[in-house]
Chains A and B, each alone.
Chain A
Amino acid sequence: MIYDREIATERSYLSQKIREFFNENDFLEVETPIMTPIPGMEPHLTPFESDFTDPYGQKTTLYLNTSPELQMKKLLGAGFGNIYNITKVFRNGEVSGGRHNPEFTMLEWYRVNASYKDLMEDCENLIIDLADSPTLNFGEHSIDISKPWDHFTVNELFQKYCNIDLEQNKDFETLKKTAKKHDYNANGCNNWDDLFYKIFLNEIEPTLGFNKPIFVYDYPSSQAALSKKKADNPFWAERFELYIAGNEIANAYGELIDSKEQRTRLQEEQALRKKLNKPVFHIDEEFLTSLESITVPCAGIALGIDRLFMVLLNKKTIEEVLLFPLSKMLNNLNN
């Protein structure tokens, strides 16, 4: 392995600038645990697990957090106001190919009395501040990061790139037929969301954010159990993703604060985990109670620090911005 001091220096500088940005904007930095007895319920994530043994030999399963989201919302419920957090998160099974490391650094921030669109502005201001230049060079691309950035709804992108109106293709069978007409195959897809993503990943994602960073917003509600559904059309939810140079950098929600609806949607995720043969976790009751004390609209966002550093430092793989990427540590074992 080589340990590049220059990368450590850049990371340290950027992390300090991120903290300065949020402190200057009156956010409170909070710390959340790495280990938790109840992990997030996201159906496709696999947390690492371990056992805590107390002095009497009593064991409790603990999970490495896949995201600090539940804890952050408990703090919102406790009236903390605008908060941010830079923490390690862990996702089992996610390695290879340069964009994933099973352990990575997440920046999350939450705004009270705000909508997910306010977070788009935060993203622009933060990244422009970190970049120190109106243009980002990434490989052979030159990305203009001056404001405003591009904004497209998911459905606008499907119409633009695939000539498919998702409003007319809301069930799996219909979408399959439409896909076939366009010569997109549904092989390996078990449901609407799989096929949605297969088309998105093949036809749309590889082109996103090479001229300007792009906010892709209003995702199908089936893919965002912790976000608020759109008031005028509940098929869509208040969620956006930020893409720069084909990289998914951040994921944001207009937060769902209705605890009854949240319970139903967590139960649906429990059912889906069961169907996928994944361990089913308890619903975090304290999380639901906390939502009841949130009385104003809130929005929250998770930004992958390592991927952002890739884009800012013009590195093609996540391994190049990490001092100890897991793939290299494993590779070293087999010398």
Chain B
Amino acid sequence: MATTTDIRKGIAVVHKGQTWVVIQAQFVSPGKGSAFTRVKLKNLQGGGNAEVTYKSGEAVETADVQNKRCQYMYNDGTNYYFMENDNFEQFSLDAESIGDYSKLMKDGTECYAMYIENKPVSIQLPPKMDFLVTFAEPGVKGDSATGAVKDCTIETGLNVKVPLFVNEGDIIKINTEDFTYVSKAN
């Protein structure tokens, strides 16, 4: 058992007898009322999403899962292939299990894989990751009306909004929760 304060993205919980992973947790306090925690869940046993609102402080049943360190290797368009760090065993997950993370996957990415009864079901990326900028419009644009922000493309193909000083070839940190720019990597 856990309480709502332990609920965050990537935690597995039991809801209506099935195992779900939290994909988003949100604080809610309606009309100056008391606090609630609203979570978006992804079903790990058969797919589908659900939204549940818990009273803050309420006991929430966590699922019996194992987390193991692993490394992403490649995908063949349908499946994503990983290797466990401990025993070099390989496993794969389908695109649905990877979800939005597909936009951030690059060879060698270190992550955690979640297992239910020895079967891998999902992965969790580190909160921030470094990426190479493969395309960015040059430095300062003449058109100041577009503001201090421009688009760039990172090595995975994802487009991200960045400050004007970010250039092609730079390494930048991306928040893996909302896919936004954090800073230039040191």
**A is bound by B:** yes
Question: Interface of A with B (CB < 8 Å)?
Answer: 1-6, 8-9, 42-45, 93-100, 187-189, 193-194, 197-198, 200-202, 205-206, 219, 223-224, 239, 241, 248, 251, 317, 319, 331-332, 335
- Check if B30 sits within 8 Å of A5, measured CB to CB: no
The B50-101 residues at the A interface (CB cut-off 8 A) are 51-59
B163 touches A3 (CB 8 A): yes
Selected A-B contacts with CB under 8 Å, 7 pairs = A1-B183, A6-B149, A96-B25, A188-B55, A197-B36, A198-B55, A335-B128
Q: Is B11 an interface residue (CB 8 A)?
A: no
Which chain A residue lies CB-closest to B26?
A: A97
| Contact A198 B36, beta carbon cutoff 8 Å | yes
Known contacts being A6-B147, A331-B175, is A194 close to B31, with CB within 8 Å?
no
Known: A4-B161, A193-B34, A206-B51. A96 touches B26 (CB 8 A): yes
Does chain A have a CB within 8 A of B158? no
Nearest CB in chain B to that of A186: its residue: B55
Residues of B within 8 A of A93 (CB): 35
CB distance from B150 to the nearest CB of A (A): 9
CB B16 to nearest CB in A, in angstroms, measures: 10
The winner among B53, B59, B146 for most chain A CB atoms within 10 A is B53
A4-B161, A200-B30 as given contacts; A97 in contact with B38, CB under 8 Å: yes
Q: Is the CB of A193 within 8 A of B163?
A: no
Quick one: which of B4, B34, B175, B180 contacts A197, CB cutoff 8 A? B34
**Known A4-B161, A5-B147, A201-B36: A188·B56 in contact at CB below 8 Å:** yes
Q: From residue 143 to 185 of chain B, which have CB atoms closer than 8 A to chain A?
A: 144, 146-149, 161-163, 173, 175, 178, 180-183
Most chain-B Cβ atoms within 10 A of its Cβ — which of A206, A251, A335? A335
Interface centre among A8, A95, A187, A193 (most CB of B within 10 A): A187
A335 near B149: Cβ-Cβ < 8 Å: no
Whether the Cβ atoms of B54 and A332 lie closer than 8 Å is no
Q: Which of B27, B163, B186 contacts A100 (CB 8 A)?
A: B27
The interface residues of chain B lying within 8 Å CB-to-CB of A200 are 30
Alpha-carbon separation in the docked complex, A87 to B148 (Å): 26
Least Cβ distance of A230 to chain B in Å?
A: 17
CB distance from B151 to the nearest CB of A (A): 11
Chain B residues near A44 (CB-CB < 8 A): 29, 32-35
Expressed in whole angstroms, the Cα–Cα distance for A128 and B133 within the complex equals: 42
The answer to whether B182 and A317 touch across the interface, beta carbons within 8 angstroms, is no
Task: Evaluate whether A194 and B27 lie within 8 angstroms (CB atoms) in the complex, with A3-B148, A4-B161, A45-B32 already known.
Answer: no
Q: Which of chain A's residues have a CB closer than 8 A to the CB of B4?
A: 188
Q: Which residues of B contact A4 (CB under 8 A)?
A: 147-149, 161
